[in-house]
Amino acid sequence: MDVLSQLIGGFAVALQPMNLFWALIGCALGTAVGVLPGIGPALTIALLMPVTAQVAPASAFIMFAGILYGALYGGSTTSILLNTPGESGAVMTALEGNRMARNGRGAAALATAAIGSFVAGTIGTLALTFLAPAIAELAFVFGPEDYFALMVLSFTSVAVVMGRSMVRGFTALFFGLALGTIGIDTQTGQTRMVFGTLELLDGVSFTVVLVSLFAIGEALYVASRSGTVPAAINPLSGGSWMTRQDWARSWKPWLRGSVIGFPIGALPAGGTEIPTFLSYALERRLSKHPKEFGHGAIEGVAGPEAANNAAAAGILVPLLTLGLPSTATAAVLLAAFQNYGLQPGPMLFATNPDLLWGLIASLYIGNLILLVLNLPLVGIWVRLLLIPRHYIYGGIVVFALVGVWGLSTSWMDLLLMCGLGLIGYVARVYDFPIAPVLIGLILGPQAEIQLRRALAVSQGDWGVLVSTPIATTLLSIAFLVLVVPPILARLRARPKAEPAISAG
């Protein structure tokens, strides 16, 4: 069947009244968690995973997709009106958007962000629609050694790209890999690293790790540093809509942002930060009003917001076609698939086309719902920011408790929540990235299985790991990802060091 007929089938699933309801719930929840500080889409989906066990997989993933996209829309509202990016992908939006809001042009900034998100989200989803099946077909030729190489590439790129330093990135990754080794070895049935504790035989739950590192770590950090001063919200008064000039200055950045965002989002560890930074830099360079940058240039909101949303669609490409998460949210989505006994990858297109195409179709619908929810109703979302911060974080801790205790009412899970929450706090203070922990935890056991499978097939010959062009290429890229950034950093530092030496 061709892509279009599959997509039509997907729309038939996504347009069922119950699935539309879940899409609406997901979009509303996503926008709310995007607006509120401290709760991201990853945490929300993780907390909802036990609840959605009662819901049909297609409905659950339609809701999760709404949360993923909705959080991006909501994040721009907080960035523009509060100068507090809810997510790292919204940092650049805050830069110009908040200036616009301070200049009384908050409504125009919110409008260009919402319409740009819609345009880019739709373009990104179109690209996902036509690219994903092709990549999934390609993935059928992957052997265990190729999958292992792909995971090694994912590990290195996540550890190198995310966070401030490579050492911190790798420490986070190895911490996640270590957690992933706890429990019964699936191939031999031997127990590993359980320290005589029966509760650890099933391993450390992904939800416990995610909730503890994100929610508890964040709550401890913000509590210790928030003081009692509420953040100031810029009013929504002033120009109510985009002017003709705003439209003229926005449409090209929307398209350019989409073109930058999607492919980078689809790369392992591409994420949403790099495309938004690149888009901002490009718009600044191409703008006919460069002096406005830093004082509220609309291109500086339109481009990065588009790049952010296109990247979110890009993130779904490796996840759905190869089962490879490249961000924390994607890792949670992968865990959600596994919760239903499903493994994203090429086989999923063949075995669960309704679920997969329903999910893709729901992205188009979700984008439309979000445009409606976010343009005329933005004032309602802004009111969420009036909820006192202590109630928000108190609520986060209670829901974290629901997520952890509700898993299996295990005291050990609560103990892990406290310990990992403290580690999350330390990670926040010393800038250790969290995403590599999650990716190490979820991909580590899979990488081990693929490695052992490859070695079993080759009768223990390690040469199998570089026996195919795909594996060799992927491992070479992984090596370059590891080696090139330090070399570039050293080269960049050299011209600065020389004058200092001569001056001294």
Q: Which of residues 82-121 bind another protein (CB under 8 A)?
A: 83-84
Task: Select from 61, 73, 175, 254 the one that contacts another protein (CB under 8 A).
Answer: 175
Cβ closer to another protein: 373 or 447?
447
Cβ closer to another protein: 168 or 256?
168
- 452 belongs to the binding site for another protein (CB under 8 A): yes
- 462 belongs to the binding site for another protein (CB under 8 A): yes
Rg, Å, the chain Cα set:
23
- 187 belongs to the binding site for another protein (CB under 8 A): yes
Which one of 99-107, 277-285, 309-317, 454-462 is the stretch in contact with another protein (CB under 8 A)? 454-462
Name the region of 267 (left: φ>0; alpha: ψ -120 to 50; beta: rest). Answer: beta
Phi, psi of 192 (to 5 degrees): -135, 130
Q: Residues touching another protein: how many (CB under 8 A)?
A: 71
Q: Is 192 helix (H, G, I), strand (E, B) or coil?
A: strand
Cβ closer to another protein: 252 or 452?
452
- 399 belongs to the binding site for another protein (CB under 8 A): yes
Q: How far is the CB of 374 from another protein (least distance, A)?
A: 24
Q: How far is the CB of 35 from another protein (least distance, A)?
A: 17
Contact 420, 209 (CB under 8 A): yes
Which one of 115-123, 299-307, 391-399, 483-491 is the stretch in contact with another protein (CB under 8 A)? 391-399
Q: How far is the CB of 503 from another protein (least distance, A)?
A: 16
CA separation (Å) from 99 to 47, 80, 153, 215, 217?
A: 35, 8, 39, 30, 31
Which one of 26-34, 129-137, 166-174, 489-497 is the stretch in contact with another protein (CB under 8 A)? 166-174
Task: Select from 456, 483, 484, 493 the one that contacts another protein (CB under 8 A).
Answer: 456
Cβ closer to another protein: 44 or 112?
44
Which one of 65-73, 181-189, 280-288, 307-315 is the stretch in contact with another protein (CB under 8 A)? 181-189
Task: Select from 196, 198, 244, 411 the one that contacts another protein (CB under 8 A).
Answer: 411
- 181 belongs to the binding site for another protein (CB under 8 A): yes
Contact 285, 311 (CB under 8 A): no
Task: Select from 286, 380, 398, 487 the one that contacts another protein (CB under 8 A).
Answer: 398
Q: How far apart are CA 400 and CA 219, in angstroms?
A: 10
Q: How far apart are CA 416 and CA 441, in angstroms?
A: 15
What's the gap between Cα 360 and its chain centre?
17
Task: Select from 15, 135, 414, 477 the one that contacts another protein (CB under 8 A).
Answer: 414
Q: Is 297 helix (H, G, I), strand (E, B) or coil?
A: coil
- 340 belongs to the binding site for another protein (CB under 8 A): no
- 155 belongs to the binding site for another protein (CB under 8 A): no
- 198 belongs to the binding site for another protein (CB under 8 A): no
Q: How far apart are CA 273 and CA 275, in angstroms?
A: 6
- 167 belongs to the binding site for another protein (CB under 8 A): yes
- 229 belongs to the binding site for another protein (CB under 8 A): yes
Residues 6+ apart with CB under 8 A from 298: 96, 100, 108, 109, 112, 246, 249, 250
Cβ closer to another protein: 284 or 389?
389
Task: Select from 95, 219, 371, 437 the one that contacts another protein (CB under 8 A).
Answer: 219
Q: How far apart are CA 504 and CA 500, in angstroms?
A: 6
Contact 49, 336 (CB under 8 A): yes
Cβ closer to another protein: 9 or 406?
406
- 170 belongs to the binding site for another protein (CB under 8 A): yes
Q: How far apart are CA 8 and CA 3, in angstroms?
A: 9
- 502 belongs to the binding site for another protein (CB under 8 A): no
Binding positions for another protein, 290-319, rule CB under 8 A: none
Contact 214, 87 (CB under 8 A): no
- 387 belongs to the binding site for another protein (CB under 8 A): no
Which one of 102-110, 260-268, 405-413, 483-491 is the stretch in contact with another protein (CB under 8 A)? 405-413
Q: How far apart are CA 120 and CA 126, in angstroms?
A: 10
- 386 belongs to the binding site for another protein (CB under 8 A): no
Residues 6+ apart with CB under 8 A from 75: 34, 35, 85, 86, 87, 89, 90, 93, 308
Which residue, chain included where needed, has tokens 């390690």?
A: 462
Task: Select from 368, 455, 466, 477 the one that contacts another protein (CB under 8 A).
Answer: 455
Contact 396, 219 (CB under 8 A): yes
- Binding to another protein by CB under 8 A, coded x per residue (else -) over 34-73, reads ----------------xx-xx-------------------
- 489 belongs to the binding site for another protein (CB under 8 A): no
CA separation (Å) from 314 to 146, 260, 266, 271, 345?
A: 21, 10, 4, 9, 15
Contact 84, 296 (CB under 8 A): no
